[in-house]
């Protein structure tokens, strides 16, 4: 699936902040290909410490293991850009902090590093909320910056959708 959009990150993070505050939840991020851009978008808002607990940039495989507890064998078996690793990153972000909601991203932002199975623009997402973790994969078009921004946009949108599904 390919997405190209002019998404307002400030509006999305404002809505995300409101949803998390209303539900008494805090967010953690575990980021590889975005290098902290999701956390940066969240912490652009004043008062984000009310709902944003932590952001982990785990760019290397070693960081995924050391900071998030992703098993080395899982990375060796499936590769860093994979569903099992995205799920483990999302779960690790919660296990190593006090948040109740997490998003994890691992992907190939380019311009190099892609393969036939995982072309440039492939990003795996992991989302964890209230004991349930799920994943999805997206393929974004464009250069490195475009792939990274599309990843942030998708992460914020999906978090809002997931929190909306769990509100009430």
pLDDT digits (tens, 9 = 90+) for 110-160: 988 888 889 999 999 999 998 899 999 999 999 999 999 999 999 999 999
Report the distance separating Cα 90 and Cα 62, nearest Å: 16
pLDDT digits (tens, 9 = 90+) for 4-38: 444 578 889 999 999 999 999 999 999 999 999 99
- What tokens appear for 46 in the block? 């004043």
Instruction: Tally Cβ neighbours within 10 Å of residue 144.
Output: 15
Domains contained in the chain, CATH given: 24-165 (3.90.950.20)
């Amino acid at each position: 699936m390919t997405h190209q959009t002019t998404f307002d990150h400030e509006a999305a993070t404002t809505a995300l902040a409101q949803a998390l505050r209303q539900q008494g939840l805090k967010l953690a991020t575990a980021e590889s290909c975005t290098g902290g851009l999701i956390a940066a978008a969240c912490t652009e808002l004043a008062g984000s410490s009310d709902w944003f607990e932590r952001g982990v940039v785990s760019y290397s495989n070693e960081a995924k293991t050391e900071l998030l507890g992703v098993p080395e064998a899982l990375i060796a078996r499936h590769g860093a850009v994979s569903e099992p690793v995205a799920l483990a990153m999302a779960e690790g972000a919660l296990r190593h902090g006090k948040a109740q909601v997490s998003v994890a991203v691992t992907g190939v932002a380019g311009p190099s590093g892609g393969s036939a199975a995982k072309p440039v623009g492939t990003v795996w997402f992991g989302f964890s909320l209230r004991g349930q973790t799920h994943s999805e994969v997206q393929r974004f078009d464009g250069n490195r910056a475009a792939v990274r921004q599309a990843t942030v946009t998708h992460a914020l949108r999906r978090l809002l959708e997931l929190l909306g599904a769990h509100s009430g």
